[in-house]
Structure 1
């Protein structure tokens, strides 16, 4: 068994110490989620494992052939390189061979009559056969397809930032490393890609160390949790749910110092155990569950007071935003099309949908920062708006943290009339006294976002617009925000792709489907995604069935038209049988797991889902194999 031993890892910047004497072991098969507040050094620690010179001290013990593959937050890819070249950028002989073959194939397809290109292509084909590289090539293309990358000849510089990150993720996954280090791997992935990645990493034969704010993903993938706090790493066995239980137990032991954390983790744990179905119920039912929790903690009356962001709010009338016949477009890109909608007091609206469909633009229009082409948005007279944008605004880097917040207000009144100073608010949001005296320029990106969020709340809004609030915020800060929103008496409109956040906060959804098409749903976001995915698969299956029937009909009408396979079809036919055999083996294993009484309900449901998908894929490949086989 291959292991990686880290000891005496430390990092300091001037007088600030991120962590010191960090020591842990990563065993083969571990899938470790790394947690910690923004600014504690999670990414710095990951960087240091790969490039030891980035840290002040670190000792690493590992086998000589131990291989690490790292997905950075900001991947470095050659803008002039093609997707396929970037993905197969490894130094291994098979990778080089596949890269050469793919380039030769592209040239051959452009000019198949060139004798020199033909000779080069067929020689590489023989080398691919000898190296048995076809399966690896097929697996890699499957990974790229799952991640939404289909244009393999496109240059990296022509891709969006999200697409480039997905290419970098594919490059990391195919490396066959002993340890995958992944910094926010779910960024820029849709639900289907995240679901696939969960399954892929859960079965990965090596080890995985990852940072994520996606708590569903963390719960499904992690077998251990490392928490970076108090300048060191604390280890927990199990997934996110088990981590929450252990944290709650630990905080009970240290209740005199940590009552507010006990409340936080118990609320999170209760939410995790509610299940997806329960998360889809009405908002009041969820509030009742949290009220039950409060009764359980009556023997600790100070806990709730310490943890709550109990800011008094301005009175809000029933009418918040009255949108009538709104139209908005940029060139040929339609954002709103004759859109009418009434936003009322107490609404909790999650706004989601495809990238580029206009969700942020919609918030800008509501905030009166962007005029409509036609129609109107009438804002209620009592609305006091707080807009948390994706980009931090109006923060002077040369200002100290405490002075910045005091410039917004010397403090706030709580609902009971008591006063909370700016310093106390900062303390609630995990800014200790040393950080309160720091310059804003000294904060990490995540710490700046946390301070920006606090500044929005300090202004005591009764309507909140939140644009991707989970980006660059750590899980603990997100939980504080979610608990605040649970007691918030105003209206919330939140743009997000985070399943956990939307399930917990939103009572209804507006789904932007592009070109002005907006769907309303009262499902939880997870339930909506599951239904949408099922509908998409059903539609795909229907299209495939129709194509299959059309092919059969054409074959019946013209049985003698096709005499033999083209070269491309012959290549395709040669690859089909190994794929079908591999699927048969995987289906056999899944059936075995379905009959295993030790597997729990969630595991059985996951196995059945995978079996259905693989059965469908196998049927389609068999149909294709039978069709091509008749011309052999």
Structure 2
């Protein structure tokens, strides 16, 4: 029987004059993993803030099961810049953390009586390897300088420390707002696997559709001030949402037909509107509301004109770029072709953004040169966005660039028309930029890039903060875009739909051109790794001698000596194995030592397998 962890009743909230949601009622049970989907500006983050009890609601109640722990990762988490990474992680109400702190204090003060009590407590909590687990999670999230001050970290690194803090605390109920932002593909896949195996109950906002598909077993859609519930993953949500909208609109069409009949009655029978007919008049008012409640899917028709692109686009000749000993490009040669769509992947720090800045001329190469065609118009959507004054009005952001925007059809639009085209209704045109949601700001920034009619589009992490519905429309636009597209993104679904090949940044200037999208590349790497391990194993395996036709009944003197030696070797290996396992569980190793010990443990296991196999072979002869 499932245990209810969260109960929400009649939850209502306004933002100024805008009603974000009205009388929401839902519950989340132990073990459920829920993805929350909504358009930008409809109140996803507000809802999470209310559920995390950071923001009060206008009406309704949020009740958690007594005794459960809650962990919340906001989009912009607050961390203490004066702490080191490890100090920030240890600022927790987790019982294991509290016990470890008390143990260290007792050790420092020489309080032996307290130490005895705390050793029992640490045993009971299974906390002896806790610090090792902390360092493992931080290392997976590419945070390896544990003594570094938080204030010295980038915004992305701070969010990763905050994410590690939440995961390490192991709360019963996790609330995560865009957890995959600032993670590279390797980290996302690790987090995906971690959350799939985790027993924690989860409520999450993310635009990562593969993550939703593989982790979540429930989807909530916030739309029309209401919450719709889908018991399945993202693909199930897509199917059932389409059915819901079709069914609703069919009912609306039926109500419209009935409304015509009732309208005729209302017009013909004014004298019948007495007490006996009052129920029919009331029913007419309800029918009128239903007939006007059809769901009109808002969409962005991204028919923006692209400037004509000639045969010569951007050509790289022996381009090299480095910062000290760190090579970014090493004798790089490439000629971009019309209509190609290339994705760029690689670990953080391998130079993806430097590459983009070099091919656009923002950075000079150390050697080699680039040639850009005369017709090339670059549209560069940067990861850090556009610097817009917070007190500036939305319409002024567009009109300051141009008073007329040309569409693919040849027609032009005014700034106001263009804003409506991108789902900014009239009432939002004179709103200050600071009042927009993160996704709305990104959509406004995307407008400023596309309205210049580029034919060479560079998109550096374009999916961050955009809602799934906007992403689907952007994907459709890019698929039909006739110019060149270069994309850096950690959104695997987005990459799979758009790119036809990849530049894989492997570090130190090594860039491989892979023919295919991300999923094809991912499967290729898995098979490559399997083959590599197979070859390495075959090299280590002893070549088994051919058995003679007449197997001797007794071991030779040499074979007896070999068997004795095998027994000695196996005992030594098992002792070393036990020692390493104890060291790994001690929590006293550095990340480098953990890696070395784990590698040696794998080697020992392989040696033991080999020696046990040979020992069994000899024991059969002896028997």
Q: Is TM (by shorter chain) over 0.5?
A: yes
Question: How is 1:337-352 mapped onto 2 (pairs within 5 angstroms)?
Answer: 337-352=330-345
Residues 131-174 of structure 1: per-residue CA shift (max 9 Å, x gap)? 54346666555544544455555554555544443332232224
1:354 to 329, 347, 358: 347
Residues 491-513 of structure 1: per-residue CA shift (max 9 Å, x gap)? 11111122111111111111122
More displaced stretch, 540-549 vs 481-490: 540-549
Partner of 2:188: 194
* Maintained 8 Å contact 1:573/1:625: no
* Maintained 8 Å contact 2:299/2:423: no
Partner of 1:335: 328
2:581 to 563, 572, 591: 572
Partner of 1:97: 99
User: Whole-Å Cα distance in 2 between the matches of residues 124 and 212 of structure 1?
Assistant: 41
2:464 to 467, 471, 495: 471
Change (3 A) 1:103 1:431: farther
2:307 to 295, 298, 314: 314
User: Whole-Å Cα distance in 1 between the matches of residues 603 and 113 of structure 2?
Assistant: 34
Change (3 A) 1:118 1:383: farther
Question: How is 1:41-120 mapped onto 2 (pairs within 5 angstroms)?
Answer: 41-100=43-102
Change (3 A) 1:622 1:122: farther
User: Whole-Å Cα distance in 2 between the matches of residues 544 and 118 of structure 1?
Assistant: 50
User: Whole-Å Cα distance in 2 between the matches of residues 422 and 85 of structure 1?
Assistant: 50
Once the two structures are TM-superposed, the CA of residue 417 in structure 1 deviates from its matched residue by: 4.0
Change (3 A) 1:132 1:306: closer
Change (3 A) 1:168 1:403: closer
Question: How is 1:476-555 mapped onto 2 (pairs within 5 angstroms)?
Answer: 476-533=469-526, 535=528
Once the two structures are TM-superposed, the CA of residue 378 in structure 1 deviates from its matched residue by: 0.9
1:378 to 371, 384, 401: 371
* Maintained 8 Å contact 1:359/1:512: yes
Partner of 1:32: 34
User: Whole-Å Cα distance in 1 between the matches of residues 139 and 351 of structure 2?
Assistant: 25
Change (3 A) 1:369 1:309: same
More displaced stretch, 121-130 vs 187-196: 121-130
User: Whole-Å Cα distance in 2 between the matches of residues 513 and 49 of structure 1?
Assistant: 42
Partner of 2:242: 248
Change (3 A) 1:89 1:404: closer
Q: TM-score, normalised by structure 1?
A: 0.73
Partner of 1:393: 386
Structure having the higher Rg: 2
Change (3 A) 1:201 1:252: same
Once the two structures are TM-superposed, the CA of residue 230 in structure 1 deviates from its matched residue by: 3.1
Change (3 A) 1:30 1:203: same
Once the two structures are TM-superposed, the CA of residue 128 in structure 1 deviates from its matched residue by: 3.0
Once the two structures are TM-superposed, the CA of residue 205 in structure 1 deviates from its matched residue by: 2.9
1:461 to 450, 454, 462: 454
RMSD: 4.4
- Partner of 1:340, secondary structure, is strand
Partner of 2:218: 224
Change (3 A) 1:424 1:240: farther
Once the two structures are TM-superposed, the CA of residue 318 in structure 1 deviates from its matched residue by: 1.8
Once the two structures are TM-superposed, the CA of residue 481 in structure 1 deviates from its matched residue by: 1.0
2:207 to 182, 205, 213: 213
* Maintained 8 Å contact 2:381/2:460: yes
User: Whole-Å Cα distance in 1 between the matches of residues 539 and 578 of structure 2?
Assistant: 21
Partner of 1:296: none
Q: In the comparison of the two structures, how many residue pairs are matched?
A: 534
User: Whole-Å Cα distance in 2 between the matches of residues 2 and 624 of structure 1?
Assistant: 50
- Partner of 1:7, secondary structure, is strand
Stretches of structure 1 that go unaligned for 5 or more consecutive residues are 108-114, 259-302, 550-555, 578-615, 628-632
* Maintained 8 Å contact 1:346/1:492: yes
Change (3 A) 1:211 1:564: closer
Residues 406-434 of structure 1: per-residue CA shift (max 9 Å, x gap)? 34344444444444544343233221221
Once the two structures are TM-superposed, the CA of residue 64 in structure 1 deviates from its matched residue by: 2.0
Change (3 A) 1:151 1:127: farther
Change (3 A) 1:624 1:567: closer
Stretches of structure 2 that go unaligned for 5 or more consecutive residues are 253-295, 543-564, 587-598, 611-623
User: Whole-Å Cα distance in 1 between the matches of residues 495 and 22 of structure 2?
Assistant: 36
Once the two structures are TM-superposed, the CA of residue 218 in structure 1 deviates from its matched residue by: 1.0
User: Whole-Å Cα distance in 2 between the matches of residues 498 and 528 of structure 1?
Assistant: 14
Partner of 1:166: 160
* Maintained 8 Å contact 2:32/2:218: yes
Once the two structures are TM-superposed, the CA of residue 347 in structure 1 deviates from its matched residue by: 1.1
